[in-house]
Structure 1
Amino acid sequence: MAPRTSLTLRKQGFLCETFVLSLADRRYFGGWLRSLFAYDIKKDARKDAHSSLLAKKATSGLYEIQFHNVKPECLEAYNNLSDEVHRELHSNADYPCEVAGSWNTWYGEQDQAVHLWRYYGGYPVLTECLNKLRLSKAYLEFHRERSKMLISQRNQLLLEFSFWNQPVPRTGPNIYELRTYRLKPGSMIEWGNHWARAIKYRQNNNEAVGGFFTQIGELYVVHHLWAYTDLQSREETRNSAWLKEGWDASVHYTVPLIQSMESRILVPTKTSPLQ
């Protein structure tokens, strides 16, 4: 008679039931359990960088996002100074970069400015711009003056998801929502696969502005940028997505990939191309 043993199954810390298994049973269940909790490393390993699989070409989709926390009493002066410098950079053909959008946070972190820069030509153009700015007396003076108004600042280099809209200038008035997702390391490909299908449910009302993921800075961070007429239209647009077959599945499969998330409501500055 084949030797038998007991297998105790537990679920969420509670004893479920004890079964007596034969050797053949143990082989079957052992293989079945291994298939649940293990994977073939050679089979699942990827030899492509996530950025090359998910992003548009870096020559067209390299962005920088800046978060500046401004002293409350300096916010108006900060906005005026930034608007002036951004206009000068846009009018100067020697700087192959542009501000895609500039905002102040309305709901979220207060007295905060957010700037989204685009670099046509990828990393070589980014390096070229930085080198030129270091030699510009006007920009260095602006940088010194601006630093007096800031409490803190941080930035990230972003790549653009290949399946998202490209941020293009739009007329207003609009408010913008920047939704930031911090993903579990290793889950970016899965996130991209699901959102490549999910984005089609959110493009009917022209609310999808841009989708990005970090390349330098805090990693495994995703930013989705949306435009709405007002908070009420935001509510109605988001609710309407749940009426479309397939949106619920997209949410179901992407939520487990998230470690934390944040929503900011942004108001464009006077010179922002995204109004």
Structure 2
Amino acid sequence: MATVSAWKLLTSSKVCRCVKSDLFPRALQGKRSYSTKSDEPKPEESGFKEEPDSDKTGWLSKFLSRKIEPTKESHSRLLSEKDIIYELQTHNVKPSKMDPYIQKYAEYVKAISTRGDVKKELVGSWIVGVGDLDQCLHLWKYPGGYSSVDESAKTLRSDPEYVQLKRERTPYLRSRRCQYLLHFSFWPPITPRQGHNLYEIRSYTLRPGSMIEWGNNWARGINFRRSNEAPFAGFFSQVGVLYQVHHIWLYSSLLSRKETREVAWQQPGWDRCVSHTVPLIKHMESRILLPTPFSPTQ
């Protein structure tokens, strides 16, 4: 009865003149909606427009955009042609112990080279000159892939001479880590260099899932960086810190580095490689490396 009285009061002519009907509750207006349609505005009402179909886009947008197709192959098969594994060792040395550390590591390298029972080869060995100081990088190559890695690890852990050599240099270290890497197939082959050179390692941590796109862009971009034979090696990680890329460049001096990079920016297409790859990067760093006396590449 109270509801009926309220309804009569609300619909009286005096009240209707001062109260708009669109303020009435739906239940009082006698309108109930059970529609499953969304009350959200249409795209054109909300200010957003639907993307046109791919077959309706112009040739220019197709040329500028890149689409990475889904694949059933692993990234390692698509980006690297061989099963050669590389190991990048990073050793952080106590500031006052660099000289004895280098001496002991040289003995370790000599033992592996002389005996020949460990299936790995030293590619390069460096001391960081700019970046994380009191740090050394050692790049090893396993020609037989992971089978060589397994056999070498077993020998290094069990042979008394190798165990002793490792024990002797351990007190000189603050920390250490390593990664297993694959070499990008579009980079030039790794060849030892002679003379007095410096190296730059540029390390990029990428967004997960972006490695193929990185490779697609750098397969073209590497052609803009071949002046002065600067490219030395390009890797992507397989074990250790994942989605990480290492580009190693060679220069005769820091001035040569500056000039080589400026030449790249003068070539049409290099800017596009940079603009397409920068959004893929989560973190990056650059370190200048100086070869150790026993490094195969100088």
TM-score (norm 2): 0.78
Q: 2:264 aligns with which of 236, 241, 250?
A: 241
> Which of the pair is proportionally richer in strand?
1
Q: Is the 8 A contact 1:96 1:120 kept in 2?
A: yes
Aligned in 2, Cα 1:257/1:31: closer, same or farther, shift over 3 Å?
A: closer
Q: Residue 54 in 1 paired to residue 79 in 2? A: yes
Task: Give the secondary-structure state (helix, strand or coil) at the position aligned to 1:63.
Answer: strand
Deviation at 1:8, TM superposition (A): 2.7
Letter in 2 for 1:158: L
Distance in 2 separating the partners of 1:31 and 1:105 = 49
The residue aligned with 1:172 is 195
The residue aligned with 2:156 is 133
Q: Residue 99 in 1 paired to residue 137 in 2? A: no
Q: 1:210 aligns with which of 219, 233, 237?
A: 233
The residue aligned with 1:76 is 99
Distance in 1 separating the partners of 2:51 and 2:261 = 44
Task: Give the secondary-structure state (helix, strand or coil) at the position aligned to 1:7.
Answer: helix
5+ residue gaps in structure 2? 1-40, 56-67
Q: 1:9 aligns with which of 34, 44, 47?
A: 47
Decide which structure has the larger Cα Rg and report it: 2
Distance in 2 separating the partners of 1:62 and 1:134 = 19
The residue aligned with 1:253 is 276
Q: Is the 8 A contact 1:71 1:149 kept in 2?
A: yes
Q: Is the 8 A contact 2:227 2:260 kept in 1?
A: no
Q: Is the 8 A contact 1:56 1:159 kept in 2?
A: no
5+ residue gaps in structure 1? 11-28, 36-42
Letter in 2 for 1:178: I
The residue aligned with 2:294 is 271
The 10-residue stretch of structure 1 (102-111 or 126-135) with the greater mean CA deviation from structure 2: 126-135
Size of the aligned set, in residue pairs, is 245
Q: Is the 8 A contact 1:119 1:125 kept in 2?
A: yes
Once the two structures are superposed, residues 194-219 of structure 1 have per-residue CA deviations (whole angstroms, 9 ceiling, x without a partner) of 00111111113111000000000111
Q: Is the 8 A contact 1:180 1:263 kept in 2?
A: yes
Letter in 1 for 2:123: A
Percent of residue pairs identical? 46
Q: 1:45 aligns with which of 50, 70, 73?
A: 70
Q: Is the 8 A contact 2:217 2:277 kept in 1?
A: yes
Once the two structures are superposed, residues 91-146 of structure 1 have per-residue CA deviations (whole angstroms, 9 ceiling, x without a partner) of 22222211100000000001001000000010001111111111211111111122
Q: 1:226 aligns with which of 236, 249, 254?
A: 249
TM-score (norm 1): 0.85
The residue aligned with 1:65 is 88
Task: Give the secondary-structure state (helix, strand or coil) at the position aligned to 1:164.
Answer: coil
Letter in 2 for 1:54: L
Distance in 2 separating the partners of 1:86 and 1:108 = 25
Aligned in 2, Cα 1:202/1:218: closer, same or farther, shift over 3 Å?
A: same
Letter in 2 for 1:200: N
Q: Residue 154 in 1 paired to residue 177 in 2? A: yes
Task: Give the secondary-structure state (helix, strand or coil) at the position aligned to 2:106.
Answer: helix
Once the two structures are superposed, residues 210-249 of structure 1 have per-residue CA deviations (whole angstroms, 9 ceiling, x without a partner) of 0000000111000000010011100111111111111111
